[in-house]
Chain A
């Protein structure tokens, strides 16, 4: 870990403005990912702006009938919130499928969205990694790739986004609210927050420099049966091999997003149009153009079978 300076901001706009004043500054909230990466010399900020005191920790109703989740709402609190459990069960279940109780107590909503890949080569500074060190190459594509991406990947990077929460939020049509250093705010659909790796896997989101996420909003409840099925080698405390987040209506229509397959939570709206045709058809649409490695090609079958299982569970519960 390199030496760094540290500052507590007093307001979201001030945090963004202060960040813009110092090269190498980063926001820190829960720190569950950033601190680990700093200890490993993967993240090397010179200045940390602590946003924990910014009162962004409330969950409130929106005029549109949805909810606004403050950027600093802890994963534990979000998963346990009565309204979330009742109207957005998918989100609650996805949160509880992630990490451990201790980590969820600390991790925040915005931090969860911005956590970085768990590709093992990204974590080892002796290895080439275009995400960590642009232009150095990708050791994962021809290496140990069992857990990595199969779709939307590039020759530069096959990393996955590790979040469970983001998969649920993608299926639930979330938007993020931000503030920029000049004090202006904007809304970004979650679909547009994370980028595909392309030739610049080091640039992971569409956020501008020092733009701070202040909240995540969800539209009015979708209704239907909410299922988050996370598939993994051990029963808890592991990242998904793949996951399926689904909100499925009585008529069989619904929203579906996948985790563990791409550089972002993966949703293809066209796939949802063929849900009546069954899991195979949906899976083909979701994963059209997939380019898995030899080690992770099983994910194609796994997605289809898990989706079939989820759709069967939804039918049984409808």
Chain B
């Protein structure tokens, strides 16, 4: 199905199932331990062996020699995979560094060997006996000092130069010129990277934990130098990914190589301390923002220039991107520069680009509002735009940012905020409120599904869409139920298998809207097939309550499959609408913090997000996505930072003790409001994404609240107490 004109009324608009708060349909499987994660497919194939990955001890250089003798002769060892015996390996399109290093080493903890043994414990013990000699080489590990050598990555994010920024900025009566930094961050999802590989002749089956099945089938086939058709990926449940599992990682490739060498199935999970340097992370950024405004608060000039680093051939973190579209202003300069760093690979993490970009931009807006002596909510409203500021003929399909801000301000009690920083106390705590805008584009990706109807009236959906804890199973089930006029318990949803039709996958907050739109398309076909079997007119048939109603007749839906199961398959393909309209999602974050006046510890007291993101398919799982994102934003604001050892070239705090993320005690009352919205330009579902929107801006709202509490402006994340101590009030 081509989606090339805005959606009109369709069965989803009934909202009998879609849009109803629904607990996740696979929830009982998860809470009873019956949902197998990647490492837990214990019985699907017999004779499973265990692989343990050995990571490089140096950041850059090469392996001089490997002594495997001790490891090879350790109890239970079956095989050891290294670059020397792995054969020629390709590299996937989505990987920057190779997933099995040697002799060249590209980054710390790059995999250099997989030890396969009868038991996990034997493999782990033997892995300690692998003896590698390295020759280290000099590397670049510091973004700040390599900033000067940054280049424009034209294919990823070309410069936006609109109007005359320099002239307008110079002429602006009120100016801000500030530089912000965001650190490297890790996904640290609960479930580690894990895969189990099994070969049947030249056919490979991989049970894994992966967000993008089709990308990863392709990349695994490319890496192993085999036809895509010979690779099957199965990833029904995923214990979090946050972008870290968009791609195949070393567990997948090494499980496949290990199984081939061992001649039996091999499962591999990355040990927690290996995960951070072995995999990808959100790259650190430096961002210089200049804003010029008229004295009545209209932005006339906006420059957002950023720098990030990655391995050679890698990706730029498009942090400056939101400044292309978020606020009005005639004159604009938006650029990113990419430098070469020899740290582990930088890549996508939840709302790549927008997350660090909004962390900086929304502090800058707060600073500018203060210079202008305008309330920060009003300043943003004043500079709202309903069109792409660099192409005014291109409107936003739907932009309710002002409504988000107004609603949030009212619900949060924004009028109680002290405009003068550092003037509200509660005992030894300094109290402050902050606001920031949430903004994330709505991406559209082709998505397919297959739908079956059987003679019991059960509808089964099959798509390679994944559920990374987001609730995909449930919204896909709701969509099929709505379309086929059955209750949710009459729908079976099967996901995450490359033998199913290719979907959008889970990434870029496009999964919910696109994958359900694909199911919609398949269901339209199934309805046509049902109508044909039942001899009714598809166009006026009503599917409801397990029946098909047409021309005064009511026929049980299951009757259509009496002569055999009906199968329909289709995909949604998005056409020109995204060129005519800018599609984005919007929100407003409000935060109250308390800062200990003695120690500088910041504790969040309450949070509110108001989101305008199209139709909310399932308020329960959408809320869960947003509060999870807000929690991640607390981490980014207050504690998350991969500490770079700039001499040795690695992230030092590479486990969950060292890399702190929020715990329950850090997360207070969280509230989420979804504005009633549909966006007919987005898809037949009229929905958009929320999973990343909830993260964009929230950290800046916290930073702004800290400023309001203390009068201390911290521009380098995370806002830890050591950055404030010398500016806190004198102790009495």
Interface readout for B611-650 with A: 1 if CB under 8 Å, 0 if not?
0000000000000000000000000001100011101100
Question: A1 contacts B125, CB within 8 Å?
Answer: yes
Question: B662 contacts A308, CB within 8 Å?
Answer: no
Q: How far is the CA of A143 from the CA of B141 in the complex (A)?
A: 13
Interface readout for A284-318 with B: 1 if CB under 8 Å, 0 if not?
00000000000000100110111011001000000
User: A117 → chain B, closest Cβ, in Å?
Assistant: 12
Given A146-B722, A233-B660, A241-B721, residue A2 in contact with residue B128 (CB < 8 A): yes
Given A142-B647, A144-B643, A238-B660, residue A309 in contact with residue B603 (CB < 8 A): no
Interface readout for A228-256 with B: 1 if CB under 8 Å, 0 if not?
01011111111101000000000000000
Across the two chains, which residue of chain A brings its CB closest to B635? Answer: A234
Across the two chains, which residue of chain B brings its CB closest to A304? Answer: B731
Q: How far is the CA of A40 from the CA of B128 in the complex (A)?
A: 9
Q: How far is the CA of A238 from the CA of B665 in the complex (A)?
A: 11
Residues 105-148 of A at the B interface (beta carbon under 8 Å):
118, 120-121, 123-124, 126-127, 139, 142-144, 146
Across the two chains, which residue of chain B brings its CB closest to A280? Answer: B731
Q: How far is the CA of A318 from the CA of B723 in the complex (A)?
A: 33
Residues 682-732 of B at the A interface (beta carbon under 8 Å):
718, 720-722, 725-726, 728, 731-732
Given A235-B603, A305-B728, A308-B598, residue A124 in contact with residue B647 (CB < 8 A): no
Interface size range of chain A in the complex: 35 or more
Question: Quick check: is A41 within 8 A (CB to CB) of the other chain?
Answer: yes
Question: Quick check: is B163 within 8 A (CB to CB) of the other chain?
Answer: no
Residues 660-689 of B at the A interface (beta carbon under 8 Å):
660, 662-666
How many A-B contacts are there with CB distance less than 8 Å? Answer: 103
User: A62 → chain B, closest Cβ, in Å?
Assistant: 36
Question: Quick check: is B57 within 8 A (CB to CB) of the other chain?
Answer: yes
Q: How far is the CA of A302 from the CA of B723 in the complex (A)?
A: 11
Secondary structure class of chain B's binding surface, majority of residues: loop
Question: Quick check: is B655 within 8 A (CB to CB) of the other chain?
Answer: yes
Question: Quick check: is B599 within 8 A (CB to CB) of the other chain?
Answer: yes
Question: Quick check: is A85 within 8 A (CB to CB) of the other chain?
Answer: no
Per a CB cutoff under 8 Å, which of A143, A229, A235 touches B663?
A235
Q: How far is the CA of A117 from the CA of B261 in the complex (A)?
A: 40
Per a CB cutoff under 8 Å, which of A2, A121, A233, A237 touches B720?
A233
User: B710 → chain A, closest Cβ, in Å?
Assistant: 14
Complex contacts, A63 vs chain B, CB 8 Å: none
Question: B653 contacts A120, CB within 8 Å?
Answer: yes
User: A132 → chain B, closest Cβ, in Å?
Assistant: 14
Question: B125 contacts A3, CB within 8 Å?
Answer: yes
Complex contacts, B725 vs chain A, CB 8 Å: 298, 301-302, 305
User: A56 → chain B, closest Cβ, in Å?
Assistant: 28
Per a CB cutoff under 8 Å, which of B647, B654, B722 touches A143?
B647
Per a CB cutoff under 8 Å, which of A126, A142, A238, A305 touches B598?
A305
Question: Quick check: is B556 within 8 A (CB to CB) of the other chain?
Answer: no
Q: How far is the CA of A84 from the CA of B596 in the complex (A)?
A: 28
User: A255 → chain B, closest Cβ, in Å?
Assistant: 20
Complex contacts, A3 vs chain B, CB 8 Å: 75, 125
Per a CB cutoff under 8 Å, which of B128, B653, B731 touches A309?
B731
User: A69 → chain B, closest Cβ, in Å?
Assistant: 27
Complex contacts, B731 vs chain A, CB 8 Å: 279, 304-305, 308-309, 312
Question: A118 contacts B666, CB within 8 Å?
Answer: no
Per a CB cutoff under 8 Å, which of A235, A241, A302 touches B665?
A235
Residue from the set A3, A123, A142, A234 with the largest chain B CB neighbour count within 10 Å: A234
User: B559 → chain A, closest Cβ, in Å?
Assistant: 55
Question: A123 contacts B655, CB within 8 Å?
Answer: yes
Question: Quick check: is A39 within 8 A (CB to CB) of the other chain?
Answer: yes
Question: Quick check: is B273 within 8 A (CB to CB) of the other chain?
Answer: yes
Question: Quick check: is B428 within 8 A (CB to CB) of the other chain?
Answer: yes
Per a CB cutoff under 8 Å, which of B125, B647, B654, B665 touches A234?
B665
Q: How far is the CA of A232 from the CA of B663 in the complex (A)?
A: 13
Question: B721 contacts A302, CB within 8 Å?
Answer: yes
Q: How far is the CA of A121 from the CA of B648 in the complex (A)?
A: 11
Q: How far is the CA of A142 from the CA of B58 in the complex (A)?
A: 18
User: B703 → chain A, closest Cβ, in Å?
Assistant: 15
Question: B664 contacts A236, CB within 8 Å?
Answer: yes
Residues 462-491 of B at the A interface (beta carbon under 8 Å):
none
Question: A234 contacts B662, CB within 8 Å?
Answer: yes
Residues 258-279 of B at the A interface (beta carbon under 8 Å):
273
Complex contacts, A312 vs chain B, CB 8 Å: 428, 731-732
User: B52 → chain A, closest Cβ, in Å?
Assistant: 11
Residue from the set A124, A139, A279, A302 with the largest chain B CB neighbour count within 10 Å: A124
Residues of A within 8 A of B (CB): 1-3, 39-41, 118, 120-121, 123-124, 126-127, 139, 142-144, 146, 229, 231-239, 241, 279, 298, 301-302, 304-306, 308-309, 312
Residues of B within 8 A of A (CB): 57-58, 75, 121, 124-125, 128, 273, 428, 596, 598-601, 603, 638-639, 643-645, 647-648, 652-655, 657-658, 660, 662-666, 718, 720-722, 725-726, 728, 731-732
Apart from the given pairs A139-B645, A143-B647, A301-B726, 11 other A-B contacts in the complex at a CB distance below 8 Å: A118-B658, A120-B652, A121-B652, A144-B644, A146-B643, A233-B638, A233-B660, A233-B720, A298-B722, A308-B731, A312-B428
* 4 closest cross-chain pairs (CB), A and B: A309-B598, A236-B665, A235-B665, A126-B57
A sample of 26 inter-chain contacts (CB < 8 A) reads: A41-B128, A120-B658, A121-B652, A127-B648, A143-B648, A144-B653, A146-B643, A233-B638, A233-B720, A233-B721, A234-B660, A234-B663, A234-B666, A235-B665, A235-B666, A236-B666, A279-B731, A298-B725, A302-B599, A302-B721, A302-B725, A305-B725, A308-B732, A309-B598, A309-B731, A312-B731
